[in-house]
Structure 1
Amino acid sequence: MTRTVFEKSDVTSLVTEVFRELGYEGASMSKITARTGLSKGSLYHFFPGGKDQMAAEILAHIDQWFISNIFEPLEKHEPRAAIDNMWQEVDTYFQSGQRICLIGAFALDETRDRFATVIRQYFVRWIEALSAALVRTGISQEAADQVSEETIAGIQGGLILSRALNDESFFERTLANLAQRISKTIAD
């Protein structure tokens, strides 16, 4: 039985979860229709460019969420408050480690080449935004860059291990440890 969907955002959310579960290569049109309950006609109505357009729009949607909720606050708001907010937003977005980072997952397979610019910009912006906030707290650019890179790598690694171990507390502990490290760096 097919679903009735009226908004593109509804379709985007459904398709996003299929890509999260199966990856880009594993998400064939037949699997997307089966898992979303949407007909191919409905999918092509919203995404005339097919699977590539779906993925591109999903990546753009994710990027926009991170711009609004993570990157811009780190770039523009009081740095300590923005960093504290980042931990909460990251935990909520990734559902305490039970939701993969789709951009990170795309970076790991052949999809990387298809969406290389978007993937690279996402990670570079996050590292640079966190680094800028850290510099505004008074630490050196070099230290801020190093801590930022290690923090984003730690978040991504925490997501992978949390899912692999089926233990959401692992991701929560990872975020707490990373937050503690940044707090100590800022205090020193």
Structure 2
Amino acid sequence: MKTVYERADIVPLLAQIFRELGYEGATLSRITERTGIGKGSLYHFFPGGKEEMADAVLAAIDGWFEEAVYRPLRHDDARQAIAAMWTNVSEYFRSGRRICLVGAFALDDTRERFSRAIRDYFTRWIDALRLALMRAGCVEEEAQTLAEEGVCGIQGALVLSRALRDETVFTRSLETLAMRLEAATR
């Protein structure tokens, strides 16, 4: 196992643990067992304990989505940014094999603890996609509906593809959503 020298090195490990075990299931003992990092070192990097660890993971996810999805949707060529969103999201979620940790946190008792981060994740994504759709020619009301449908469709496709253990469900759903949004912007 790689020696961890920086807090940022631990965050991806924590993200995987939270994805596999959920927030409640990711006890400090399980985190130390799976990372190979002692409790003292974990508390050195995350004095606030497991909640600070989850905050760091959510912040890392937010940073990735800001750079790869939200910012391009807000500022780049609208049609290119929307097309890139489908590619980036497919890669991020590993074609449906990786759960959306933010979505998972939204569905369990963790929801209240991280409500702002969860709400911001979905709100910013919908808003950025709505703006891109409007720049691509959709009227605001239609753009809002399509943006909600797009984000909802991605999240639903993740759940369904994992439940069925069939990543082609995710891939097909993204292709269908992409065609629907592209047709609306012609």
TM-score > 0.5 by shorter chain = yes
The letter of the residue matching 1:111 is: T
Q: Distance in 1 between matches of 2:120 and 2:58?
A: 11
State the match for 1:55 in structure 2.
54
Q: Distance in 2 between matches of 1:139 and 1:99?
A: 31
1:71-99 deviation per Cα after TM superposition (whole angstroms, max 9, x unaligned): 00000000000000000100010000000
State the match for 1:177 in structure 2.
176
State the match for 2:134 in structure 1.
135
Q: Distance in 2 between matches of 1:58 and 1:158?
A: 23
Offset at 1:36? 1.5
Q: Distance in 1 between matches of 2:2 and 2:44?
A: 14
Q: Distance in 1 between matches of 2:136 and 2:16?
A: 37
Where do 5+ consecutive residues of structure 1 fail to align? none
1:30-76 deviation per Cα after TM superposition (whole angstroms, max 9, x unaligned): 11111112111121111111000000111011001100110000000
Q: Distance in 2 between matches of 1:178 and 1:41?
A: 47
- Indicate the SS of the match to 1:63: helix
CA RMSD of aligned residues (A): 1.0
The letter of the residue matching 1:123 is: F
Q: Distance in 2 between matches of 1:89 and 1:180?
A: 16
Alignment of 1:106-185 (within 5 A): 106-185=105-184
- Indicate the SS of the match to 1:19: helix
- Indicate the SS of the match to 2:185: helix
Alignment of 1:2-17 (within 5 A): 4-17=3-16
- Indicate the SS of the match to 1:5: coil
State the match for 1:77 in structure 2.
76
1:19 aligns with 2:18: yes
The letter of the residue matching 1:4 is: T
Segment drifting more, 31-40 vs 65-74: 31-40
1:98-124 deviation per Cα after TM superposition (whole angstroms, max 9, x unaligned): 000000000001111001111101100
Q: Distance in 1 between matches of 2:3 and 2:175?
A: 42
1:117-160 deviation per Cα after TM superposition (whole angstroms, max 9, x unaligned): 11101100000000000000111100000010011000000001
* TM-score relative to the length of structure 2: 0.97
State the match for 2:185 in structure 1.
186
Aligned length, in residue pairs: 186
Where do 5+ consecutive residues of structure 2 fail to align? none
Q: Distance in 2 between matches of 1:108 and 1:68?
A: 25
Aligned-pair identity in percent equals 54
Offset at 1:169? 1.1
The letter of the residue matching 2:125 is: W
Q: Which runs of 4+ in 1 moved over 2 A?
A: none
The verdict on how the C-alpha distance between 1:10 and 1:139 changes in structure 2, with shifts beyond 3 A counting, is same
